[in-house]
Amino acid sequence: MEKELERETESRRENSMADHGLEAGMDEVKEEGKAGETAAAGESMEDYSKELEASFRQIKEGDILSGAVLSVSEEEVVLDLNYYAQGVVKAGDMSNDPKYNVMEDVKVGDTIKGTVISTDDGAGNIQLSCKEAREALAWDIVKQYMDEGKEINVKISEVVNGGVIAYAEGIRGFIPASHLSLGYVEDLSAWVGKQVGVKVITVEEGRKKLVLSAKLVEKEKAEAETQRKISMLAPGTVLEGQVESLKEYGAFIALPGGLSGLVHISQISQKRISKPSEVLKMGDKVKVKVLNSNNGKISLSMKAVEEDSKPDEVDERRASEYSSHERIGTSLGDLMKNLKLNP
């Protein structure tokens, strides 16, 4: 009887432990289920929030949107616009460049911009054009270049009536022949293929009009070089120049290095004159002294050169002492003759 009682007690203990283990396992399963439900609920809420946000967005034709590339094919590029509809860009709307290859130039994950050309392409997608987006953004860029006076480099592609064509930010720009260089340009075809620095002088997006100028860039560089040369002229420097024009108030002198300076009428001659033409004529070669170079203008004097070359009065007096007809002796007797001794 005792052995049977012990076996029954042991059996009950084992069954109790098994029931406890089962309950613990069930509790773990329940906890994991709750965690999964919580995570799923979080993800669902996040997705719902995105969808809700997307549903409030209003997209219209002409908008410029950014999207991540989901897929690329020979026919089109599909974009994730973070919207309930995907974006589609037809291969022909990707670029104006004839060398553009959509399969090589676009990769999954790339972010690209496109202008909305249709809110429904018939398949529920938003149709976009990268070409139009690029052009719209480009007009803003060239307008900024003009406002800032920024110099940009362009390549001249062809000759047209009255000038040449060059592209800036993908926009066809016109450079009039009069704005191609500081000097007169006779053969425009010689400029085709050249890279030139230009400034934007006209932007009219509505008329698709973009006008560029290389002349302005050359002019600014020439002026900067002139100012550099002028800054190196020290007052008192004597130069040789040529009379290039005569005015009532003075004479303009062409100087070395392409510089030009003014000799005021009061600085032309030691004697009083009523007009520069009394002592100067066009083409005369003259020597001038730099008085100053303030504000980028060179002030010169011919009179100062004459004054510098005039013998000193003391030197003249001393020279006159030896200009008499008396013989100048160098013997000891001659030297002692003029020596006065005090008694």
**Taking the chain, what is the end-to-end CA distance rounded to the nearest angstrom?**
176
Q: For 9-18, 100-109, 157-166, which range has the lowest pLDDT when averaged over its residues? A: 9-18
- Residue 106, judged by CB atoms within 10 A of its CB (0-12, 13-18, 19+), counts as buried
Average pLDDT over residues 172-198: 94
Q: Which value, to the nearest 10 degrees, does the dihedral of the CA atoms of residues 91, 94, 98, 101 take?
A: -60
Of 228, 225, 263, the residue nearest 247 (C-alpha): 263
Per-residue pLDDT tens digits for 226-279 = 888 888 888 999 999 999 999 999 999 999 988 999 999 999 988 889 999 999
What is the reported pTM? Answer: 0.55
Residue 11 has pLDDT above 80, yes or no: no
Rounded to the nearest integer, the mean pLDDT of the chain is 80
pLDDT of 56 strictly over 70: no
Residues 49-70, mean pLDDT to the nearest whole number: 78
